[in-house]
Structure 1
Amino acid sequence: MQETLSKTIIFKLNNQEYGANIAQILSIEKLQEIVALPQTSDFIKGIINLRGTVTPIIDLRTRLGMKEMEETEQTRILIAKVKEIQIGLIVDEATDVIDISPEKIEQTPELVRDVDHRYLKGVAKLEERGMLLLLDLDHVLSMEEFTEIQQVAQD
């Protein structure tokens, strides 16, 4: 029986590599001007007009409890489809797309440095990369936060 490889996009936050299922990623964009919105959560940076679609932008660092960092030439926005909403996730750098076999993925330990374990699907142990934290994009936002983002996208 053939095992299913999981296509994973690799990106960096705070010099740590993370992965997310590529099926949820629509595109990778260079950072562009973001229109700030008043009275939204601090991790919601604002909105962009991406090819005619108003797209809420989330700073993934801030969302995961890391300190904000200056943008660089490598800073990217991962455009993702999460619970039927198109959102942009600011990452320090998008580096690669790789296949990960299921037996390389383990449950997330409760005490993972820097990130709340609720946001993680697991940890992949890869010979060439070491430990790779796999984000669960469906759980990066709570239902209340999704409602807030839906309002932002519709306004």
Structure 2
Amino acid sequence: MDMLKAVVFRAGYEEYALPIGHVMSIEKPEHINFIPNMPSYMKGVVNVRGEFIPVLDIKQIFYHEDTAIDEQVKLIVVQAEEMSAAIIVKEAREIINIQENALKQFTIGAFQATKYFTNVASLDDRLILMIDPDLFLSSLEGIALVKEGMRKELSHKGLNP
């Protein structure tokens, strides 16, 4: 039976997961450099192994509330088709194997704002929403502006993006 390996995290009171194949690393939220005039969900950039990566607050995206930075908060650095991003999450809880038969299709009609929720993993008493990183990042309003704004701001500061 096929298995999907995923990183489970919390945002708000819900559990979400990203396929492990897209996760580059899990980091502590240190040295987030603020960049002005970005969307409210973008908290700045971090330097991860020589690459400047935008920091996105997933709680701000999903619930329009900022994630309080404490010792439980982590940055999940994901690689998507278009770009890499560091996602601020509450509790990067675990890496799990999900059996294919535990994944249920998740659709909310034609609601485009949640097209990145691809499945729900039904595990005993847990429901975990699966996120497609490519669809997630490409669905963010202004993501092209974020990428271009980062390039300009970093160049202006004399950094090579």
| TM-score interval (norm. to shorter) | 0.7 to 0.9
Aligned partner of 1:131 in structure 2 is 127
> Which consecutive aligned stretches of 4+ in structure 1 deviate over 6 angstroms post-superposition?
none
In terms of fraction of residues, the more helix-rich structure is 2
Farther off after superposition, 116-125 or 29-38: 116-125
Aligned partner of 2:5 in structure 1 is 7
Q: Which runs of 5+ in 1 are unaligned?
A: none
Aligned partner of 1:140 in structure 2 is 136
Q: Which runs of 5+ in 2 are unaligned?
A: 153-161
RMSD: 1.9
Contact map agreement 1:13 1:61 (CA 8 A) in 2: yes
Q: Map residues 84-123 of structure 1 onto 2, 5 A cutoff.
A: 84-110=82-108, 117-123=114-120
Aligned partner of 1:30 in structure 2 is 28
Question: With structure 1 as the length reference, what TM-score do the two structures score?
Answer: 0.85
Using the TM superposition, give the Cα deviation of residue 94 of structure 1 relative to its aligned residue in structure 2, in angstroms: 0.5
Using the TM superposition, give the Cα deviation of residue 143 of structure 1 relative to its aligned residue in structure 2, in angstroms: 7.1
Question: With structure 2 as the length reference, what TM-score do the two structures score?
Answer: 0.83
Query: Taking every aligned residue pair, what percent have the same amino acid on both sides?
Result: 26
Farther off after superposition, 142-151 or 100-109: 142-151
